[in-house]
Structure 1
């Protein structure tokens, strides 16, 4: 504490800095593509990957009582909640506001909860057991609800999972801001506190981690980029651990949001990748050297056919991308008339000028050092 000033009554005034801990929310998007995990069955089964992911979640929650976590499954046909359970996800923000900055913990399953009471043990931290039971039961329900038609798709609804994660982060942030506003108003007449850097989400540090095993779907380029730019506006980094597949869009997401993109060279070491590269939050990474992907694939998907293209046509008004000129040279998004110039026409052929050859001693020069031998 630093002495600020002394009043005429000889009393000393001190400036007490705010030591409240800022909670950190980690939203995890788990790719649950059945075909991709079936191909990895011999190397990294889904059950082992989930077990390692739960260890990583426990480590994040163990850093502080204020830390929170959310797990979302990106399936082939939908995005589904794993934790908090679907019926508890809406009320989690209200519970957070009621409990202040502490994590809402319960050592037994509540009424109507899908978590079995027998999973809780006196030898396990209640919050760890709650997350483990909720993720296991939700994954089992998602697997049992899958149909053979769901196995035909090779990609997942990643854009929907990112949107759900951003919505949940925004809801928790608003709840924390509303909970802190009342005490701040009641102590407005107190001594001013020292300025402290606060995140853009009103007292909450949030980040998104994507565990990817699928290729990027070109038809989801626009909604995925919309979610990425929304996360960048809120200073929410999007990290990606690519176990398999060619996830072009997530490389761009990590670059735009200043996150970390890492391709697992050895999938069996998933826990080491998670602990060393993705455990630090945004504040801790400022003092660390995070692993970076050296090359970023900046290819985009066209708006007309959904193809990933290297070169294309861009509208100067709405920045729409097309793999080929639209019909009538008119933008399909804003209706602007595109000026293509002479594109598509035959190139102008310039006649080649005939080179004159000099004559030496009455003979035409052939260009060779010696003359043409006679037969």
Structure 2
């Protein structure tokens, strides 16, 4: 029977379940930045295009997952999945560190009212999972916008906090996909380890849709999140709609991610998303991904939080300063900076006098000490 229906020619390994992929999208929701490109791309159309991209990612496999984080002006908020405890505030500083005053991290308004429960679409033409995700994101995004006060309208965007939340969620999700560890046999403790490297249980990546410039005050927490993602082999992709953020360019380069700038044509957001960022880590090994022509590797100084091209670096803690600190002491670790001969005037070396040439019979050659001319051929 197998020869009749040709089932023996099929490769059974091809029908095995694929590795699930987790896509975490960080959306820059700075109102000032979106107001600058409102004529080209309103935030409503941008969110609609992101919905199409998310649905395409989920359509690749039943086990694919998605998470959405909003990087706002003074906090980072989960848009999807919704927080199980919306009334519990998470402690987070605006610079991305821990401690400090409590900042609301859930989709509730300023009066601490619970948002409306997302209603599933009743259209038969929409997949129920897509409708549930879209309703949850729109409800959380509407609550975030309504809770934004005029005092929150500053040009700073908390990208570092959003990256930290995304990495924490990815780590928590990867633990759920890990296979249970088998205990060693006490009768045979010298069991040889497996020779082949185990395949990853989850492919995770982060996509940042940015409309703001990099904030120098967030250089340290952003780089901490970037190096943590690089250590965990999680690529950070970036799609810039307005400018070229310096730190996100470095994040894409360090984590082997993709950086694209759509500042010339923000209306083509969906095209950039579908053709540049839809492939996961496993598929990118067989594709030619977009590359960066140049990367801005400038860093922010630790003293004035300015992006500098050249500066002074502490040899102990690698802190960067745009100018020599007071008493030549590192402001981070207190180490005395050895500046050597920096600032000393260079030594003046006298120029060596050149030997002057004698003019003989109108020619500029040196004289031989004889008044007679050089005899020519007869």
TM-score normalised per structure 1: 0.77
The Cα offsets for residues 203-243 of structure 1, whole Å up to 9 and x where unpaired, read as: 11100000001000011111101101110111100000011
Over 3 Å counting, the alpha-carbon distance change for 1:303 and 1:144 in structure 2 is same
- What is the number of residues matched between the two proteins? 316
1:160 paired residue number: 161
**Aligned-CA RMSD value:** 2.9
Q: 2:78 pairs with 77, 81, 85, which one?
A: 81
Distance 1:360 1:313 in 2: 55
Partner of 1:344: 343
Retained in 1: the 8 A contact 2:115–2:140? no
Tell me the residue number matched to 1:263.
261
Distance of 2:115 and 2:143 partners within structure 1 = 14
**What does residue 220 of structure 1 align with?**
218
Give the secondary structure class of the aligned counterpart of 2:180. helix
Q: Which residue of 1 aligns with 2:49?
A: 52
Q: How does 1:329-368 map to 2 (within 5 A)?
A: 329-352=328-351
Q: Does structure 2 conserve the Cα–Cα contact (< 8 Å) formed by 1:115 and 1:130? A: no
Report whether the alignment pairs 1:30 with 2:35: no
- TM-score, normalised with respect to structure 2: 0.77
CA 1:292–1:336: 2 relative to 1, 3 Å: same
> CA distance change for structure 1 residues 20 and 115 in 2, over 3 Å: closer, same or farther?
same
SS of structure 1 residue aligned to 2:176: helix
Q: 1:120 to 1:341 in 2, by over 3 A?
A: farther
Q: CA deviation at 1:282?
A: 0.5
Partners of 2:131 and 2:122 lie apart in 1 by 6
* d(CA) in 2 for partners of 1:197, 1:260: 26
Show the counterpart of 2:100: none
Query: Does residue 1:297 correspond to 2:308, yes or no?
Result: no
Q: 1:61-106 CA distances to partner (integer Å, 9 max, x unpaired)?
A: 11111000000001111111111112379xxxxxxxxxxxxxxxxx
Quote the offset at 1:347 in angstroms.
2.9
- The runs of 4+ residues in structure 1 deviating greater than 4 Å are 193-197, 351-361
Q: Would the aligned equivalents of 1:231 and 1:237 in 2 still touch at CA under 8 Å?
A: yes
Question: Where is the helix percentage greater, Structure 1 or Structure 2?
Answer: 1
